[in-house]
Amino acid sequence: MKKYTPISDTVFDQPDDHFLFESIFYHLLKKFDNLYPPIEVFETASGMPECAKVAWCLWQFAAEVSGNGIPDYLLNHCPEIKQLIFTHHALKLVLADELVVLLEAAIPLAREASIEYGEFSDFPKDAWLDQFQVNLVWPDLEMISQPSWALSAAPLSSLVGTYLRAHRAALQNA
């Protein structure tokens, strides 16, 4: 990774939250030579504030979920437990409460669905997942997909934009 550099004023001066969210992601992507490093590399990136890591992680989450929903994200695009744990943490930090509920409701259902794929399943395996139980309001994965698509677009960008603006000083200091 190249050294973290501060985010410019022009990015924060843009009133559009989605543009801010996207701009910070692409600013960080350049630091990794336009590659997507494993979460372990990103978590230990020297000099990078946690709020930048939150933006990085949630951009990837939003990109997957807005197209395919949380169930597909869990079953096909999130094979690392560290990534899932950090995504869960990041959603809580930006106050994306509805997405947290849907993610927590989907975890036990996706875990159960992944059993039939056995060793070919990409679903993470870890004791951390044991804390999530089936939510009677969201009893199946199909019910979770549609609302997660909608929430992971503009509503999430707005929440992340507010979070990033609140952490502007950290993102602009290197």
- pLDDT band, residue 174 (cuts 50/70/90): low
Residue 121 has pLDDT above 90, yes or no: no
pLDDT of res. 31: 86
d(CA 16, CA 62): 17
Q: For the chain, state the CA radius of gyration.
A: 16
Region 4-18: what's the mean pLDDT?
93
pLDDT of res. 76: 87
Query: Cα–chain-centroid distance for residue 160?
Result: 10
d(CA 36, CA 34): 7
d(CA 134, CA 124): 17
pLDDT of res. 43: 73
d(CA 90, CA 83): 10
- Mind listing the pLDDT tens digit for each residue in 65-112? 999 999 999 988 887 899 999 999 999 999 999 999 999 999 999 999
Angle 17-84-149 (CA atoms, 0-180°, nearest 5)?
50
- Mind listing the pLDDT tens digit for each residue in 136-164? 999 999 999 999 999 999 999 999 999 99
- Mind listing the pLDDT tens digit for each residue in 17-67? 999 999 999 999 998 888 888 777 777 777 889 999 999 999 999 999 999
Residues near 83 by beta carbon (within 8 Å), at least 6 away in sequence: 39, 57
With a pLDDT cut of 90, the percent of the chain lying above it is: 72
Phi, psi (degrees; rounded to nearest 5) at 105: -70, -35
